[in-house]
């Protein structure tokens, strides 16, 4: 790649010589060098070559309130001056973490009034794994160990996160653990075959019951799922799926962990994905939108019945140096204040999400598009060779071609295989949505042209 700014080359050399990047094709990265992002404001990024890019992914699904919010910088700076660090271990605490715990439970579903803090979503899911097993041990059922996840679910990149998730590429690289099993995902477009979406939704949900019976209810600790799978490709389950899962969960004595890392804090137009679907989780994993990504923080929101058992249980031998970090907590508190006071989630629900969904669906008429689906501030565009039969192009990598065109034309859209996905900042305006959809159409045109 030729560069205009000599500093770009310097940074790319640093990348090649000193940096091991997360989730990247190392060979390709070495050859091409990374794009260097240098600043951001609102929903736009700038790279070191001076290109302005609309960030259709809110960073990695996290920058809910948009870039460049002074209040968040101020919250961090003033907390650093007051108390830059202390921990929550061994019978100590500090005001930001405690006040944040209360603020989170004020927006969480009723009956979930305790929070365990972590540094990330992955650590949140590690916490879940240990917490549910500890819970059942305290209840006198230590054999309840197995956790049921889903194929193509994403729960993070620590060993427990990778193992709970259903990404084969991660399992193959040391990401498995005993006592974790997976069931089918509710991905109608890719896997529904001849079934109607509704019939497929019921079928996919029934796999949970089948698995509980196969493993034995006495051995199952929990089921973990994202209300809408994000990293798996914005997979919005058929309408029959969650009601059927709810029915099954009510029948068996197992805990339900809703991984709200992507859906939480407004992405669906409700505070949590479980609010949108009317689910009743026992534990909810949170991260990303909690701080709008300005600083790392995650956690687990815990239902009162579970918290009550834990609180009688003596030591819980688990926690992180940065659990509830005061600076992160101060930023999260301010971020929640912004979400609440500026009625950002209300605006998503009433105005911008309906507009985004309407405009995105206009892309259905494009010859390359097999399906447009979306909900709230989430969207997916399936790229296909044949719409009617949902047939993909044989040559893999149509998504990557499209993604490159997007990048080169000032739009960040992610490719999951041949599925293009978006999750813009929640503060995106209708005019910016127009910009997003127009750029997306242009890149679909360029992709189609390149395939000819
Ligand atoms: N659960 C879910 C549902 C996630 O989406 C995690 C847990 C892990 O969170 P941390 O903070 O440990 O990364 C995630 C993270 C992608 C992508 O390419 C998605 C995530 C992370 C990185 C890349 O879509 N999700």
CA-proximal residue: ligand 1, atom 1 (nearest): 155
Range scoring the smallest mean pLDDT among 70-74, 262-266, 378-382, 385-389: 385-389
Mutate to test the pocket of ligand 1, among 21, 60, 129, 232 (most ligand atoms within 8 A of CB): 60
Give the 3-state secondary structure of 150-183: ECCCCCCCCHHHHHHCCCHHHHCCCCCCCCEEEE
Q: How far is the CA of 207 from the centre of ligand 1 (A)?
A: 25
Q: How far is the CA of 404 from the centre of ligand 1 (A)?
A: 22
What separation in angstroms does the CA of 315 have from each of 58, 91, 420? Answer: 39, 11, 46
Task: Verify whether ligand 1 is closer than 6 Å to residue 225 (CB atom).
Answer: no
Q: How far is the CA of 227 from the centre of ligand 1 (A)?
A: 14
pLDDT of 169 strictly over 90:
yes
CA-proximal residue: ligand 1, atom 22 (nearest): 60
Q: What is the pLDDT of residue 201?
A: 98
CA-proximal residue: ligand 1, atom 7 (nearest): 155
d(CA 382, CA 191): 13
Q: How far is the CA of 57 from the centre of ligand 1 (A)?
A: 12
Burial of 389 (0-12, 13-18, 19+ CB in 10 A): exposed
- If phi > 0 it is left, if psi is from -120 to 50 it is alpha, else beta; for residue 179 that is left
Structure-block tokens of residue 327: 């600076």
Specify whether the CB–CB gap between 83 and 63 falls below 8 A: no
Q: What is the pLDDT of residues 105-137, one digit of tens each?
A: 999 999 999 999 999 999 999 999 999 999 999
Q: What is the pLDDT of residues 396-432, one digit of tens each?
A: 699 999 999 999 999 999 999 999 999 999 999 999 9
Task: Verify whether ligand 1 is closer than 6 Å to residue 232 (CB atom).
Answer: no
Ligand 1 atom, smallest distance to 229 CA: 3
Ligand 1 atom, smallest distance to 260 CA: 3
Report the chain's mean pLDDT, rounded to a whole number. 97
Closest CA relative to residue 115, chosen from 332, 377, 415: 332
Q: What is the pLDDT of residues 30-46, one digit of tens each?
A: 999 999 999 999 999 99
Give the 3-state secondary structure of the chain: CCCCCHHHHHHHHHHHHHCCCCCCCHHHHHHHCCCCEEEEEECEEEECCCCEEEECCHHHHCCCCCECCHHHHHHHHHHHHHCCCCCCCCCCCCHHHHHHHHHHHHHCCCCCCEEEEECCHHHHHHHHHHHHHHHHHHCCCCCCCEEEEECCCCCCCCHHHHHHCCCHHHHCCCCCCCCEEEECCCCHHHHCCCCCHHHHHHHHHHHHHHHHHHHCHHHEEEEEECCCECCCCCECCCCCHHHHHHHHHHHCCCEEEEECCCCCCCCCCCCCHHHHHCCCCCEEEECHHHCCCCCCCEEEEECHHHHHHHHCCCCCCCCCCCCCCHHHHHHHHHHHHHHHHCCHHHHHHHHHHHHHHHHHHHHHHCCCEEEEEEECCEEEEEECCECCCCECCCCCCHHHHHHHHHHHCCEECEEECCEEEECCCCCCCHHHHHHHHHHHHHHHHHHHHHHC
Q: Token pair 């009162």 is at which residue?
A: 304
Q: What is the pLDDT of residue 319?
A: 98
Mutate to test the pocket of ligand 1, among 61, 64, 224, 300 (most ligand atoms within 8 A of CB): 61
C-alpha angle 257/346/62, rounded to 5°?
50
Q: How far is the CA of 251 from the centre of ligand 1 (A)?
A: 30
Closest CA relative to residue 109, chosen from 244, 276, 340, 248: 276
CA-proximal residue: ligand 1, atom 17 (nearest): 231
Mean pLDDT to the nearest integer, 200-228: 98
Q: How far is the CA of 122 from the centre of ligand 1 (A)?
A: 7
Mutate to test the pocket of ligand 1, among 231, 400, 424 (most ligand atoms within 8 A of CB): 231
Edge-first strand listing for the sheet containing 378-383: 369-375, 378-383, 419-422, 414-416
Report the C-alpha dihedral over residues 409, 415, 418, 423, rounded to 10 degrees: -90
Q: How far is the CA of 365 from the centre of ligand 1 (A)?
A: 31
Task: Verify whether ligand 1 is closer than 6 Å to residue 122 (CB atom).
Answer: yes
Specify whether the CB–CB gap between 156 and 125 falls below 8 A: yes
Edge-first strand listing for the sheet containing 52-55: 37-41, 44-47, 52-55, 411-412
Non-local (6+) Cβ contacts of 255 within 8 A are 132, 135, 221, 222, 223, 282, 283, 306
Percentage of the residues of the chain whose pLDDT score is greater than 90: 98
Q: How many residues does the chain have?
A: 452
pLDDT of 2 strictly over 90:
no
Q: How confident is the model at residue 1 (pLDDT cuts 50, 70, 90)?
A: low
Q: How far is the CA of 402 from the centre of ligand 1 (A)?
A: 22
Task: Verify whether ligand 1 is closer than 6 Å to residue 262 (CB atom).
Answer: yes
Task: Verify whether ligand 1 is closer than 6 Å to residue 287 (CB atom).
Answer: yes
Q: How far is the CA of 120 from the centre of ligand 1 (A)?
A: 9
d(CA 265, CA 336): 8
Q: How far is the CA of 104 from the centre of ligand 1 (A)?
A: 20
Cβ neighbours around 295 below 10 Å, total: 19
Q: What is the pLDDT of residues 368-390, one digit of tens each?
A: 999 999 999 999 999 999 999 99
Structure-block tokens of residue 43: 């929903």
Q: How far is the CA of 102 from the centre of ligand 1 (A)?
A: 25
Ligand 1 atom, smallest distance to 123 CA: 12
Query: Is the four-CA dihedral 195, 200, 203, 204 of positive or negative sign?
Result: positive
CA-proximal residue: ligand 1, atom 24 (nearest): 231
Range scoring the smallest mean pLDDT among 48-57, 69-78, 318-327, 393-402: 393-402
Q: How far is the CA of 222 from the centre of ligand 1 (A)?
A: 20
Cβ neighbours around 417 below 10 Å, total: 16
Ligand 1 atom, smallest distance to 125 CA: 7
Task: Verify whether ligand 1 is closer than 6 Å to residue 182 (CB atom).
Answer: no
Q: How far is the CA of 195 from the centre of ligand 1 (A)?
A: 30
HSE-up (13 A, CA, CB side) for residue 416: 20
Structure-block tokens of residue 182: 């997976």
Task: Verify whether ligand 1 is closer than 6 Å to residue 117 (CB atom).
Answer: no
């Amino acid at each position: 790649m030729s560069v205009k700014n000599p500093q770009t080359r310097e940074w790319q050399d640093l990348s090649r010589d000193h940096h091991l990047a997360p989730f990247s094709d190392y060979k390709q990265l070495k050859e091409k060098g990374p794009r260097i992002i240098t600043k951001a404001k609102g929903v736009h990024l700038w790279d070191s070559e001076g290109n302005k890019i609309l960030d259709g992914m809110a960073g990695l699904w996290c920058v809910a309130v948009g870039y460049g919010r002074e209040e968040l910088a101020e919250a961090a700076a003033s907390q650093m001056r007051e108390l830059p660090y202390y921990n929550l271990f061994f019978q100590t605490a500090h005001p930001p973490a405690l006040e944040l715990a209360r603020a989170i439970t004020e927006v969480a579903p009723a009956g979930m009034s305790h929070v365990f803090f972590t540094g990330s979503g992955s650590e949140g899911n590690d916490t879940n794994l240990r917490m549910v097993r500890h819970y059942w041990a305290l209840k006198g059922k230590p054999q309840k160990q197995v956790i049921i996840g889903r194929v193509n679910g994403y729960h993070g990149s620590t060993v427990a996160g990778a193992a709970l998730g259903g990404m084969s590429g991660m399992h193959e690289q040391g990401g498995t653990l005993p006592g974790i099993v997976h069931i089918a995902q509710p991905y109608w477009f890719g896997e529904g075959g001849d079934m109607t979406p509704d019939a497929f939704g019921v079928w996919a949900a029934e796999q949970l019951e089948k698995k509980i019976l196969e493993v034995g209810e006495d051995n199952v600790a929990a089921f973990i799922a994202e209300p809408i799978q994000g990293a798996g490709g914005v997979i919005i389950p058929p309408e029959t799926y969650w009601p059927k899962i709810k029915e099954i969960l009510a029948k068996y004595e197992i805990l339900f962990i809703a991984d709200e890392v992507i859906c939480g804090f407004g992405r669906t137009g409700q505070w949590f994905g479980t609010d949108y679907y009317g689910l009743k989780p026992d534990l909810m994993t949170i991260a990303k939108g909690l701080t709008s990504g300005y600083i790392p923080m995650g956690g687990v929101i815990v239902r009162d019945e579970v918290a009550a058992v834990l609180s009688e249980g003596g030591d819980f031998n688990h926690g992180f140096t940065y659990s509830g970090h005061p600076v992160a907590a101060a930023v999260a508190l301010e971020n929640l204040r912004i979400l609440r006071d500026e009625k950002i989630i209300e605006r998503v629900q009433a105005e911008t999400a309906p507009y985004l969904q309407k405009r995105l669906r206009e892309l259905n008429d494009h010859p390359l598009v097999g399906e447009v689906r979306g909900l709230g501030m989430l969207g997916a565009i399936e790229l296909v060779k044949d719409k009617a039969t949902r047939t993909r192009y044989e040559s893999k990598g149509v998504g990557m071609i499209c993604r490159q065109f997007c990048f080169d034309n000032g739009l960040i859209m992610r490719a999951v295989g041949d599925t293009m996905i978006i999750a813009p900042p929640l503060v995106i305006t209708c005019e910016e949505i127009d910009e997003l959809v127009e750029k997306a159409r242009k890149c679909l045109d360029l992709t189609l042209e390149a395939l000819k």
